[in-house]
Amino acid sequence: MKQFENLYIIDQEAIKEGQESKFGYFPDERKILDHIKYGLIVLDKHSGPTSHEIVSIVKKILKLNKAGHSGTLDPNVTGILPIALAKATKVLSILLESSKTYICNLHSAESKDITEWEKILKEYIDEIYQVPPLKSNVVKKLRKRRIYNIEILDVIDKQILLKIDCESGTYIRTLCVDLGKSIGSASYMRELRRIKTGPFHENQGVTLHQLFDAYESYKEVGDEEGLRKIIQPMENAITNVPKVVIRLNAIDPISHGTDLFVAGVIAYSDFNTGEKIAILSPKGELIGLGTSFRSSKAFINGDTGKIVHPEKIFVERNQFPKYQK
């Protein structure tokens, strides 16, 4: 299973037992209404509407009361806007914190040699300080963000095409202005496209028109194929998140908010104390998100006691067998 790749297996028999049980669903095999309810859409936003307006359109198309996006794109900015649906909106906390990749067209008032730009850009591949632009709706205070990489894709006279890998919450508009100040030529962001958010890339993107057509096909003739291709299981959002797989009889206590103990874990990935952890069923179903009390070394050291404190629960209560000592 994709969710179990690179995991350390503690109890293979318990995984097999859970996968063969009647409880829960493999993420790709949920009934269509549950597939929607626990799904997300990697939307390719077009220029014009706000991110909030895009979410409203998605809710209207799918007849949903609840949906949310993973990070605002300005109206004139295009690109990847993951949208979580109904029960899956709790997973947005992971995507909001995920790194982003942008393609930016920077306009400089003066033509500069590419070697000058390369020198300046290297100085910005680090932690930087920014004040949000006036147009933003957040508090205008100095904040620290990390730029992982900036690559020059093309230079045509005063236009510089950049690929920027950065921490979530980085203001690219502000970055362009600051780059101009550093190189001695007033600069601004002319165009911007987000091509990656966390594990999602633009080659996975779908349009509102495609979503509308797929839903109409489902409503009119019962064809689920289009919706299943467009709406992904919410579990795809936690690809880069540390994980624990828990015993079948540990799921019900977790659904009631009980802390997870070491004995309830049957597979795990490496993690540190205080990290965000995805809690999975033996079928790979996302049960909850929580924070680790201690590192994964607890499994190697033979420790007992609590290992994860659940904070966001995705499954309904009383849907899994009761815990019995």
Q: What is the pLDDT of residues 96-142, one digit of tens each?
A: 999 999 999 999 999 999 999 999 999 999 999 998 776 666 677 88
CA 274, CA 10: separation in Å to the nearest integer?
Answer: 22
CB distance 32 to 228 below 8 Å: yes
- pLDDT for residue 194 is more than 90: yes
Sheet holding 306-313, edge to edge: 8-9, 265-268, 243-246, 276-280, 286-292, 306-313, 260-261
CA 201, CA 149: separation in Å to the nearest integer?
Answer: 17
Q: Would you state the torsion angle of the CA atoms of residues 236, 238, 243, 248, taken in this order, to the nearest 10 degrees? A: -50
- The CATH number of the structural domain formed by 2-28+241-313 is 2.30.130.10
Q: Which of 74, 165, 213, 259 is catalytic?
A: 74
Q: What is the pLDDT of residues 227-262, one digit of tens each?
A: 999 999 999 999 999 999 999 999 999 999 999 999
Q: Would you state the torsion angle of the CA atoms of residues 267, 269, 273, 278, taken in this order, to the nearest 10 degrees? A: -80
Question: What is the rounded average pLDDT of the residues 50-67?
Answer: 97
Classified by CATH at the fold level, domain 31-96+201-235 comes out as Pseudouridine synthase (3.30.2350)
Identity of the amino acid at 8? Y
- Its pTM stands at 0.92
CB distance 324 to 249 below 8 Å: yes
Please tell me the least confidently modeled range out of 14-23, 250-259, 314-323.
314-323
Name the residue ranges covered by the structural domains of the chain: 2-28+241-313, 31-96+201-235, 100-197
Is beta strand 100-108 parallel, antiparallel or unpaired with respect to 159-166? Answer: antiparallel
74 is catalytic: yes
Q: Do domains 2-28+241-313 and 100-197 have the same CATH topology?
A: no
Q: Length of the chain in residues, anyone? A: 325
CA distances from 193 to 18, 40, 79 (A): 43, 20, 5
- pLDDT for residue 182 is more than 70: yes
Range 100-197 has CATH code 3.40.50.1820: no
